[in-house]
Structure 1
């Protein structure tokens, strides 16, 4: 019996599928099963999988297209191991990925999920940018955005099943991570272990982008209410600012609104600090909040007209 199940959903992924499969089969940690679930592909995806003779590959075909959430839950149920590594059919796992994540999960049995840093690549495979999350800030940052890349994670099947598995059709990973973070330790390794590919079929670039964005927004609002209370209300432009979309707040052209937004961030931070949690680290939460405020302040002081930027600096100096 293998030590790890690599779960790879596939839907019309012929363009990059072989590269993704090869990146798993060529891992330095080889004691694995590659569970590929084809979700009703109409291209050559199935033929590509069937062309491999490696007995570690296990192909399951859905009778009809079920969608990503149902397919992932099916894969979790079918996995023969407790440790499951997620993998997408257009990404590349670097050779040491599974070994490093396996060793971490063995060393820290209290951790239910470990992700990694990623490099985002173009369709052609060139690196566009590197993601640089600070692992110690993951718990705080999850309040405002999905701070863990879905195809970078390894998690424990038993805990995922006990938590109710994936539930939403969009932003299914973000919702699950937030649920897990309420009760279990999460971690992100500092190494770049995955190349995350941007392509024309990605959720982030296709016609479903609006639905995904709305689901993510709904999760952020749910997070804020979890920490501050169910009656909590906040301006839309503030929420967008917290998720690094500054345009709505900038369009208001109001120094007072920016100062109020940063004060609201302080209020949320205090609520996060006050909430008992296995991931709570008071020092790191304060550090993460300070960095977030600095990032927001820097943006607006460089985007506002000079006279308003000076006023903002003055107000921030004496208001926060």
Structure 2
């Protein structure tokens, strides 16, 4: 079996794809295959890929781009490596990336995936001295339970193209979710941490390219923000798979101090929803209310909640009126403000008309 399958899904990166591929081909670690999938590019990306001759490269083309997750799964199903290196078609791998990460996974069988820090570069490949991604990716190592706590409250902070994952773990979590675009990788990190530890090298093993005009897939655009909120609420569903109360309390250690009713594995979805309601994000709150709505369909669970947690239908109904997940209050405020401004305008019309007559002597 090959040790590593490096996977690159490329889309309209004609300017960068050759440099990206060559950074993998020039790795100091040699036991790998490179699977490059052109994901429906409309520029010269595919032609450029075809010009690079190396027996380690396998090239595939998907004629129509139907999503990044689909392209990754396409490549994953063709991969033969023990480990999977996820890479981006506009980034650069430093020469010892694979060597160092493979050794770590070989030496630490309890770790499911490894990551690294990244050097930010601009479109021309020059180093960017300071970028907000630097702070995001600069994370200290934690236990998988601490990571799950961090992810629950804060979201993603790991660098996708720095990843090396055990294929056996990737298979266990069913590879990529093709319905997700912004947070497909974040969901993978959460699912891995539910079963395995992860490790971050405190070293820059890749160069991460920052594109101008919000051209990065994860750029901070309104469309991406809206989609991320939707996807986050679905990623949170994986926390309902926490196995038992002991695991729950390792992930949410502060819950034990706040509540004295956490003692029933069957009620873990309720405990998770209760934590989510405390987060001031609408996607956490919608997730929580949906979970509670579903829980309250089970009469036996309802009886348990009433007895153990003093929570029943009336408490749920109160919550649905308190958590304004559809911004009704904000809309009402905006409508009232518009009404006030319109009235102020009407009130000023007559005085302005009189002032105009005084100045110009006519209406």
TM-score using structure 1 length: 0.68
Q: Is the 8 A contact 2:6 2:86 kept in 1?
A: yes
Residue among 175, 195, 201 paired with 2:207 = 195
- Return the alpha-carbon distance in structure 2 between the equivalents of residues 141 and 123 of structure 1: 31
Residues 1:160 and 1:220: Cα distance change in structure 2 (over 3 Å): closer
Could you tell me which residue of structure 1 aligns to residue 278 of structure 2? Answer: 234
Q: How far is the alpha carbon of 1:239 from its aligned partner? A: 9.0
Could you tell me which residue of structure 2 aligns to residue 65 of structure 1? Answer: 65
- Return the alpha-carbon distance in structure 2 between the equivalents of residues 24 and 93 of structure 1: 6
TM-score using structure 2 length: 0.61
Q: How far is the alpha carbon of 1:207 from its aligned partner? A: 6.6
Could you tell me which residue of structure 2 aligns to residue 218 of structure 1? Answer: 233
- Return the alpha-carbon distance in structure 1 between the equivalents of residues 80 and 186 of structure 2: 25
Q: Is the 8 A contact 1:145 1:216 kept in 2?
A: no
Q: Could you report, residue by residue, the CA deviation over 1:132-176 in whole angstroms, capped at 9, with x for unpaired residues?
A: 211237714333221221111000112111212211422001011
Q: Is the 8 A contact 1:86 1:151 kept in 2?
A: yes
Q: Is the 8 A contact 1:145 1:220 kept in 2?
A: no
Could you tell me which residue of structure 1 aligns to residue 174 of structure 2? Answer: 164
Could you tell me which residue of structure 1 aligns to residue 262 of structure 2? Answer: none
Residue among 174, 182, 186 paired with 2:186 = 174
- Return the alpha-carbon distance in structure 2 between the equivalents of residues 165 and 47 of structure 1: 28
Q: How far is the alpha carbon of 1:237 from its aligned partner? A: 5.9
Could you tell me which residue of structure 1 aligns to residue 218 of structure 2? Answer: 204
Could you tell me which residue of structure 2 aligns to residue 38 of structure 1? Answer: 38
Q: Which has the larger radius of gyration?
A: 2
Q: Is the 8 A contact 2:229 2:283 kept in 1?
A: no
RMSD: 2.5
Q: Is the 8 A contact 2:69 2:184 kept in 1?
A: yes
Residues 1:66 and 1:237: Cα distance change in structure 2 (over 3 Å): closer
Q: How far is the alpha carbon of 1:201 from its aligned partner? A: 2.5
Secondary structure of the 1:136 match is: coil
Could you tell me which residue of structure 2 aligns to residue 304 of structure 1? Answer: none
Secondary structure of the 2:142 match is: helix
Residue among 126, 140, 151 paired with 2:161 = 151
Residues 238-277 of structure 1 aligned to structure 2 (within 5 Å):
none
- Return the alpha-carbon distance in structure 2 between the equivalents of residues 81 and 96 of structure 1: 18
Could you tell me which residue of structure 2 aligns to residue 271 of structure 1? Answer: none
Residues 1:235 and 1:135: Cα distance change in structure 2 (over 3 Å): closer
Q: How far is the alpha carbon of 1:55 from its aligned partner? A: 1.1
- Return the alpha-carbon distance in structure 2 between the equivalents of residues 220 and 236 of structure 1: 17
Residues 1:110 and 1:13: Cα distance change in structure 2 (over 3 Å): same
Secondary structure of the 1:118 match is: strand
Q: How far is the alpha carbon of 1:122 from its aligned partner? A: 1.7
Q: Could you report, residue by residue, the CA deviation over 1:79-119 in whole angstroms, capped at 9, with x for unpaired residues?
A: 01121101000011111100000111111122111111112
Q: How far is the alpha carbon of 1:231 from its aligned partner? A: 3.8
Could you tell me which residue of structure 2 aligns to residue 56 of structure 1? Answer: 56
Q: Is the 8 A contact 1:174 1:219 kept in 2?
A: no
